[in-house]
A and B are shown apart, each in its own frame.
Chain A
Amino acid sequence: MGEQVESNYGSKKVQDVELTKTKKKKAMFTWLLFLAPTLIGILLFIVYPVFESVRLSFYSSNGTIENWVGLRNYERIIGASSFWNSVYNTFFIGFFQLLIAIPLGFILASMINRIQKFQSFFKVLFFLPNVTSIVAAAMIFAFVLQPELGLLNHFLSTIGLPTSTWLSDPSTSKWGVILLTVWHWLGFVIIICLANLQAISPELYEASEIDGASGLQQWFYITIPNMAGTFAFLIIMGWISGLQRFNEVFVLGGAGGSPNRSLQTMVAFIYERGFGGFEFGIASAATCLLFIIILLFTMLNLKLTRLKI
């Protein structure tokens, strides 16, 4: 009895601590309920598949029978010229898409930013391709790029420029796809550039105007340096989606990326091996390689673009 009285104060403290503990637990539980859909999604559709991909990459599997093969899948892929061909195609198309679309989109956005009338008209016009699905766009471009009867070659020959075989020849087919991807992505680049152009403080321009800077000087010395972060964002986003390229090359050339595999991207390679040939082990190993490439390349991009800022 005496002991209880003595520790009265102490036990109240303990009770308090317990109370806040259960309160905290209850609160934690409530927040977990809020997060339940997202967390279940992460576990089922990210964590499990990623680990399973890694596991499968060490097996020879057709979906039902699995045999441990160690690193053989990786050896086979790294030794296969068709895999490196798909890596080359993916990077080639991605590189030129970014190289053309970002400067072109930035120049067009700068112009739209400078004019007073019809601003939103031009925004809508250039953004229209981006809202249509790339699948439908590829379907239309199969005709636009048709060598004899297509819209593009007719236009080029009318204004006296040389025409091309575009998609019907492996040596030019990638340029046909680059044209399509630039056309489809340009509007996105313009919208992002415009939003960030308008976020540059007008005081910078006013100050330079007092110093007598011309419009072009302002563009070079104020606008472009201030857009470094935007360019970095576009480069990173562009590469992430470019490395995952599949839809348009699949519509134009099937899983094999015809003509002559000139359009097969990394994802198309995975798709062909996985769902065309049911070589799940090989496809999983390629998936892991793709993922490592995306990760390394994104980190490299982050580094490089941050260095420039």
Chain B
Amino acid sequence: MNSRSLLSKIAMYLILLVMGVLVISPFLWMLSVSFDRVSNMRIPFPPSFIPSEFAIFNYELVFENGRILRAYLNSTFVTLASVTLQVSAALLGGYAFSKGKFRGKKALFILVLATMMIPIEARLIPLYQMFNASGLLNTLWPVIVPSILYGFGVFLCKQYFDRIPDSLREAAQIDGAGEFRTFFQVYLPLAGPIAATMIILSFMGNWNEFVWPLVVLNDENLHTIPLFLASFSLENGTALAGMTMALATMSVLPIIIAFLFLQRYIIQSIALSGIKE
């Protein structure tokens, strides 16, 4: 019995390890090709996780091109602005749905939940025309502004504020605090954990956003990282392996580093999004 369970334990570690290596190998190969001097002429073969001729040549090419830095700046700006909007709107909205007493609250909340079902894809053309008519096409605004609606965030915040007792509110209001002061001075300081969760989810979502920016940002100077990657990839196919992999590394690295530092919180956030109450 005991030796059998030990054996099954060893088998589990072995399977997990093999699967883990398989999962991680595209990244390792990406790194190896990106540091291989001759890889732009031909994909190094047989594939190896050590470059045949180590050089940072491909990275120099990528930086010389300069567009990647521009894309980084654009992505950073768009993401920070969107996250700020989303998280603020969700905290305010979630608080109202949790503590507010007004007519039509339930119906409104259902409406907010329903918005999660309507993807951006189903609204592309009218939104495009709307921003076209307002002259904001080919600026970063159309990417930022619509993020003010964050149904999932409102839902998360409502659930969170529901668990904070009403007695805090009553105490504050006996002291003469209005609804806004109660929110900002009593409830907001307690909302740290849920705010952090939303910042993480919203950051990843906005940083990787693709189809909507693709539609509204035709100007190459405004391209975000995913747009820049896609246009480079579509132009070059599987030629220029070294440069492509250097670009991929550059784009993936910040997220991976952030993930390694914050992994506990990120994994918690994702898990939270999948646990039904």
B233 touches A251 (CB 8 A): yes
Choice from B16, B88, B229 contacting A136 with Cβ under 8 Å: B229
B210: chain A residues at CB < 8 Å are 133-135, 246-247, 250
The size class of the interface chain B forms with chain A is: 35 or more
B232: chain A residues at CB < 8 Å are 139
Q: How far is the CA of A52 from the CA of B127 in the complex (A)?
A: 9
**By CB atoms of chain B within 10 A, which of A140, A240, A244 has the most?**
A140
A111: chain B residues at CB < 8 Å are 12, 15-16
In the complex, whether B55 has a CB less than 8 A from a CB of chain A is no
**By CB atoms of chain A within 10 A, which of B46, B47, B125 has the most?**
B125
CB of B125 to closest CB in A, whole Å: 5
**By CB atoms of chain B within 10 A, which of A38, A42, A56 has the most?**
A38
B163: chain A residues at CB < 8 Å are none
Closest to B29 in A: A151
Contact with B along A255-297 (1 / 0, CB 8 A): 0000000000001001100110000100110010011001100
A144 touches B123 (CB 8 A): no
B111: chain A residues at CB < 8 Å are 42
B23 touches A126 (CB 8 A): yes
B229 touches A34 (CB 8 A): no
Q: How far is the CA of A109 from the CA of B128 in the complex (A)?
A: 42
A271 touches B211 (CB 8 A): yes
Which among B60-68, B93-101, B191-199 touches the partner chain?
B93-101
> B233-277: which have CB < 8 Å to A?
233-234, 237-238, 241, 244-245, 247-248, 251-252, 255-256, 259-260, 263-264, 266-267, 270-272, 274-276
Q: How far is the CA of A183 from the CA of B42 in the complex (A)?
A: 26
In the complex, whether A27 has a CB less than 8 A from a CB of chain B is yes
CB of B232 to closest CB in A, whole Å: 8
A67: chain B residues at CB < 8 Å are none
Q: How far is the CA of A271 from the CA of B30 in the complex (A)?
A: 30
In the complex, whether A208 has a CB less than 8 A from a CB of chain B is no
> B114-167: which have CB < 8 Å to A?
115, 117-119, 121-130, 132, 146, 148-151, 154
In the complex, whether B179 has a CB less than 8 A from a CB of chain A is yes
In the complex, whether B83 has a CB less than 8 A from a CB of chain A is no
B215: chain A residues at CB < 8 Å are 271, 275
CB of A196 to closest CB in B, whole Å: 6
Closest to B23 in A: A126
A251 touches B234 (CB 8 A): yes
B12 touches A114 (CB 8 A): yes
A37 touches B148 (CB 8 A): yes
B154 touches A38 (CB 8 A): yes
In the complex, whether A35 has a CB less than 8 A from a CB of chain B is yes
> A187-222: which have CB < 8 Å to B?
187-188, 191-192, 194-196, 199, 215
In the complex, whether B230 has a CB less than 8 A from a CB of chain A is yes
Which among A43-51, A72-80, A81-89, A169-177 touches the partner chain?
A43-51
B23 touches A41 (CB 8 A): no
Interface size of A in residues (CB-CB distance below 8 Å): 97
Q: How far is the CA of A48 from the CA of B8 in the complex (A)?
A: 58
A186: chain B residues at CB < 8 Å are 23
A254 touches B234 (CB 8 A): yes
CB of B111 to closest CB in A, whole Å: 7
B23 touches A50 (CB 8 A): no
Contact with B along A231-263 (1 / 0, CB 8 A): 001100100100010110011001000000000
A46 touches B149 (CB 8 A): yes
B125 touches A125 (CB 8 A): no
Closest to A275 in B: B215
Closest to B234 in A: A254
A192 touches B119 (CB 8 A): no
In the complex, whether A143 has a CB less than 8 A from a CB of chain B is yes
Contact with B along A47-70 (1 / 0, CB 8 A): 011101100100000010000000
A191 touches B274 (CB 8 A): yes
B129 touches A136 (CB 8 A): no
B118 touches A267 (CB 8 A): no
B274: chain A residues at CB < 8 Å are 191-192, 195-196, 230, 233-234, 237
B271 touches A195 (CB 8 A): yes
Choice from B12, B100, B112 contacting A38 with Cβ under 8 Å: B112
Known contacts A133-B225, A183-B23; decide if A34 and B42 are in contact (CB<8 Å): no
**By CB atoms of chain B within 10 A, which of A35, A50, A122, A244 has the most?**
A35
B149: chain A residues at CB < 8 Å are 37-38, 41-42, 45-46
CB of A264 to closest CB in B, whole Å: 14
A34 touches B25 (CB 8 A): no
In the complex, whether B172 has a CB less than 8 A from a CB of chain A is no
Closest to B270 in A: A191
8 contacts between A and B (CB under 8 A): A37-B85, A38-B151, A46-B149, A114-B12, A136-B248, A139-B232, A139-B244, A188-B270
B binding-site residues for A, Cβ under 8 Å: 5, 8-9, 12-13, 15-16, 19-20, 23-27, 29-30, 33, 42-47, 85, 88-90, 92-93, 95-97, 100-103, 108, 111-112, 115, 117-119, 121-130, 132, 146, 148-151, 154, 178-180, 183, 204, 207-208, 210-211, 214-215, 225-226, 229-230, 232-234, 237-238, 241, 244-245, 247-248, 251-252, 255-256, 259-260, 263-264, 266-267, 270-272, 274-276
